[in-house]
Amino acid sequence: MPFNSFDDYPMSWRPTLRRAGGPLYLELAELLEQDIRGGRLLPGTRLPPQRELADFLDLNLSTVSRAFKLCAQRGLIAGTVGSGTHVSYDALASLSPLPRADKPALLELGALLPDNRSFVEVTEVLREIAAEPDCGRLFGYDYEAPSLWQREAAARLLERAGCPSSADRLMVSGGAQNALAAILAGLFSPGDRLGVDPLTYPGLKSVARMLGIQLVAVRQERGVMSAAGIAAACRHDRIKGLYLMPTSQDPTTRTMSVQERQELAEAARRHDLLLIEDGIHSLLTPSPLPAIASFAAERTLYLLSLSNTVSPGLRVSYLVVPERYRPPLEDALSNINLTISPLLLEMASRLLASDRALQLLEAHRREAERRNALADHLLAGLTLRGDAQSFYRWLELPKGWTAERFEKSAELAGVAVHGAQRFAVGSAPPPAAARLAVCSPPDLKTLEQALTLLRQVVENG
């Protein structure tokens, strides 16, 4: 029997256990997930303290703790020292990076879709390969990849991105999402914790949920993880590493200064943290800043993908990996991929070696500049973050809006956007803001139509 009476005691959640057999912590975790997904516990709801809930249900504290831990690993709840445990603000948010198949008529400013100007060049490379008499070698298991010239071509690209590396330190995977899955599967275990920005890349959130890795929002100063925030996350949450996107951070578009990168590298060294540096957008800037990996090479895995910045069909990414992390990461990549596609790697390498990839990057930059100039004009007077070469912008909404309401209002107006709740980590409410993927519409006319509709949504409140 419960020690206390709860007849008139206010509790945000009063589950009823069936006690039908099986581990009670699993039943409790299932009830919590059902009530969150069913809308009976709304995002941001503060859950009862674990001791209080254990008394109410007549359970051991450890049973409740195990249930809460499992739901935290699934991304459903988040706890903060001093403020209790809350339903995560992104618990019901879609983490899919793709357009909604059930809403094909929406003007797309949500999903990040690179433009198609690379298709001609990529098709030309494919024709060159197909015309060669030994092209069949690219379809077998015995193809040895990557070869030295392929790694050297990738090393030159990485140097342009601000991460100089010798060819022998490189590894290759099938795209950025594939690489993140391999990193978390190979270097982390279920229940481990990874420090991230309070708003972070949804693809990382998705793979972390799948693998049972708990993401921890690290406190920031001026939009960047602070040394004090990292120290607190190490002390209270025992994080094992940090995930960072220092250039044009997704979604806020914030780019770290060189000093901020150096300070983060020093903080990681001080607390013996693994760094995962996502350099996906570093190639879009005319003069990329030095990567964090250049200041902490011994503990940083640097990731550079081609699909967003060169051509969407080139599911190829390059990893700069410290020697101590190579064996488990090689095992993880082998288990996930078996091998990278030799055909895609050959196509990517030829584009890099011939400098055609750099020409495509420049074309993407020029198109992004045209689109951002249009966005600046049509949304003048609103707070719109991001530089001229960014593929997306961060719209900070006027007072009275929430991110979720704006996303729904935009959808009713015929435009898909991604509100801040999709990127949120932890128990803090997400800001009233939304990411606008200005690169996604097929042409400037469609972008103008979408942005004009969004302006009307904001002004009509």
Average model confidence (pLDDT) across the chain? 90
Looking at the structure, do residues 187 and 276 belong to the same domain, yes or no?
yes
Instruction: Tally DSSP H helices, then E strands, for the chain.
Output: 14, 17
Contact, 317 vs 327, CB < 8 A? no
Is residue 416 included in any domain, yes or no? yes
Is residue 328 included in any domain, yes or no? yes
Is residue 101 included in any domain, yes or no? no
Tell which of 293, 320, 354 closes a domain. 354
Looking at the structure, do residues 340 and 437 belong to the same domain, yes or no?
no
Looking at the structure, do residues 324 and 416 belong to the same domain, yes or no?
no
Asked if pLDDT for residue 249 goes beyond 50, the answer is yes
Looking at the structure, do residues 280 and 395 belong to the same domain, yes or no?
no
Peptide bond into 202 cis (omega under 30): no
The CATH number for 79's domain is 1.10.10.10
DSSP string, 56-108: HHT--HHHHHHHHHHHHHTTSEEEETTTEEEE-TTTTS----SPPTT-TTSEE
Looking at the structure, do residues 162 and 39 belong to the same domain, yes or no?
no
Is residue 10 included in any domain, yes or no? no
Of 217, 194, 276, 195, residue with least CA distance to 431: 217
Looking at the structure, do residues 317 and 342 belong to the same domain, yes or no?
yes
Tell which of 354, 381, 398 closes a domain. 354
pTM for this prediction: 0.88
Longest pairwise C-alpha distance within the chain: 82
E strand or H helix at 215: strand 214-217
pLDDT band at 8 (very low <50, low <70, confident <90, very high): low
Is residue 1 included in any domain, yes or no? no
Looking at the structure, do residues 349 and 368 belong to the same domain, yes or no?
no
HSE, CB side, 13 Å, CA atoms: give it for residue 50.
18
Number of structural domains in the chain = 3
Stronger pLDDT, 132 or 78, i.e. the higher one: 132
Tell which of 354, 369, 386 closes a domain. 354
User: What is d(CA 223, CA 239) in angstroms, rounded to the nearest whole number?
Assistant: 20
The CATH number for 271's domain is 3.40.640.10
SS3 198: coil
DSSP string, 1-68: --SS--TT---S--------SS-HHHHHHHHHHHHHHTTSS-TTPBPPPHHHHHHHHT--HHHHHHHH
Task: Return all residues near 195 (Cβ < 8 A) that are at least 6 apart.
Answer: 215, 216, 217, 218, 225, 230, 233, 237, 239, 241, 242, 243, 273
Q: How do residues 188-217 score in pLDDT, each as one tens digit?
A: 999 999 999 999 999 999 999 999 999 999
Is residue 95 included in any domain, yes or no? no
DSSP string, 95-121: ---SPPTT-TTSEESSS----STTHHH
User: What is d(CA 19, CA 28) in angstroms, rounded to the nearest whole number?
Assistant: 10
User: What is d(CA 87, CA 42) in angstroms, rounded to the nearest whole number?
Assistant: 7
Task: Return all residues near 413 (Cβ < 8 A) that are at least 6 apart.
Answer: 453, 454, 456, 457
For 413, the domain range is 107-112+358-460
Asked if pLDDT for residue 12 goes beyond 90, the answer is no
Of 433, 450, 309, residue with least CA distance to 374: 450
Q: Poorest-confidence range of 112-126, 259-273, 315-329, 373-387? A: 112-126
Looking at the structure, do residues 323 and 206 belong to the same domain, yes or no?
yes
Contact, 197 vs 217, CB < 8 A? yes
SS3 216: strand
Looking at the structure, do residues 343 and 375 belong to the same domain, yes or no?
no
Looking at the structure, do residues 146 and 47 belong to the same domain, yes or no?
no
Looking at the structure, do residues 181 and 216 belong to the same domain, yes or no?
yes
How high is the pLDDT of residue 453?
A: 97
User: What is d(CA 81, CA 89) in angstroms, rounded to the nearest whole number?
Assistant: 17
pLDDT band at 109 (very low <50, low <70, confident <90, very high): very high
The CATH number for 392's domain is 3.90.1150.10
Contact, 421 vs 116, CB < 8 A? no
DSSP state of 175: S
Looking at the structure, do residues 418 and 272 belong to the same domain, yes or no?
no
